[in-house]
A = this chain, B = another copy of it.
Amino acid sequence: MRVVSEKSVEAAVLGGKTKVAIVGASGYAGEELVRLLLAHPHVDLVTATSRQFAGKTLAEIFPRFAHVEKANALRFSEADPKELARNAEIIFLALPHGLAAEFAKPLLSASARVIDLSADFRLRDAQIYKEFYGHDHPAPDLLGQAVYGLPEIYRDQIRDAKLVACPGCYPTSILIPLRPLIRRKAIERKTILVTSLSGVTGAGRKVETAYLFSECNESVRPYGVPKHRHLSEIEQELSILAGEKIMIQFTPHLVPVNRGIATTIYAGIAGGVVAVEPAVLFSGAYGQEPFVRLLGDERLPDTKNVVGTNFIDIAWRIDKRTGRLIVMSAIDNIVKGASGQAIQCFNLMRGFPETAGLL
């Protein structure tokens, strides 16, 4: 086999690359970061850490990258914050919550910019973190400088952020559809109810009985009822958008697919009357967004159309019988719900085209 150095032509045209590192590169989000960053035209992946696989090349652990020169050259290393900060300009953290914050501290002190995929910096209030995650926040002093990494809401702040907290997969699928409805007061804010269906990679590469093939295959089940952790960030962001405290109902379900989240959102139409057509609201909000695809009121989203991509597909229906607006979305939980969104943030932070490496 001929090992290839990808995208070299394009890169030559476009100039200098940014050195990046991935900490915790062996989980599903980490592996997807590897996939996307190896092919990113403006990236030089200099470090990928994994305690479990230290010493092995990326290609050995992820055979799907066996043809990529860099995947054969680069070996997983143990994570050493000092060395990471010395070698990379931007560092992606794909670690469990709690651990991520501990890594972020020395990296930020050493002037690296950090894109964190865990839940550690998504909440502004350390108390709410403790309520939902069950332990004290490991670095409450950093919460103030973190930017919630949802470009459709915080694009400008992300550009200059030192610390980006990428949203959870469910929140991404919920906040993007709800934002224009909240902002334009199109819905009764107290009536929001959300059901989501997620593929099994959503649980991470966790080696637990519950996620074995034969436990998930031919199985459909709700979980995290009634207070899933992601509620904390969803309600925080909706409350900020609304300018008042918002509480919602949210139930996730596990379904036997590898990837994909299908979310269905219900809310009473404000005042019982459709003041502005949803099509107008959504087009106004997202007509220029590169990763939002509006399906309108005749088609329905299907996770299979977004798997492997950074898109969110959004459709809606007005239910005149019940006076509710129903908005449905589909994303790939590992791409738009995690690693793709992280790279979208990265592109903003570095001034690259927002879609670089993502189309």
Chain A, residues 198-237, CB within 8 Å of chain B (1/0): the string is 0111000111110111111111111101110000000000
Size of chain A's interface in residues, with CB distance under 8 A?
A: 88
A40 close to B (CB within 8 Å): no
On whether the beta carbons of A256 and B255 are closer than 8 Å, the reply is yes
Residues of B within 8 A of A330 (CB): 220-221
A residues bordering B, Cβ < 8 Å? 1-2, 4, 6, 9-10, 13-14, 28, 63-64, 66-67, 193, 195, 197, 199-201, 205-209, 211-223, 225-227, 247-249, 251, 253, 255-262, 264, 266, 286-295, 299-309, 311, 313, 317, 319, 321-322, 324, 326, 328, 330, 355, 359
Bound: A97/B301 CA distance, A: 28
B193 touches A258 (CB 8 A): no
**A274 CB, min distance to chain B CBs, angstroms:** 14
From B66, B208, B226, B319, A317 is in contact (CB under 8 Å) with: B226
Please list the 3 inter-chain residue pairs (A to B) with the smallest Cβ-Cβ separation, ordered nearest first: A226-B319, A213-B216, A219-B304
Whether the Cβ atoms of A213 and B225 lie closer than 8 Å is: no
Residues from chain B with Cβ under 8 Å of A262 in the complex: 220-222, 253
Contact flag A249-B197 (CB < 8 Å), given A1-B294, A306-B64: no
Residues of chain B contacted by A303 (CB below 8 angstroms): 218-221
- Report the nearest B residue to A65, measured CB to CB: B305
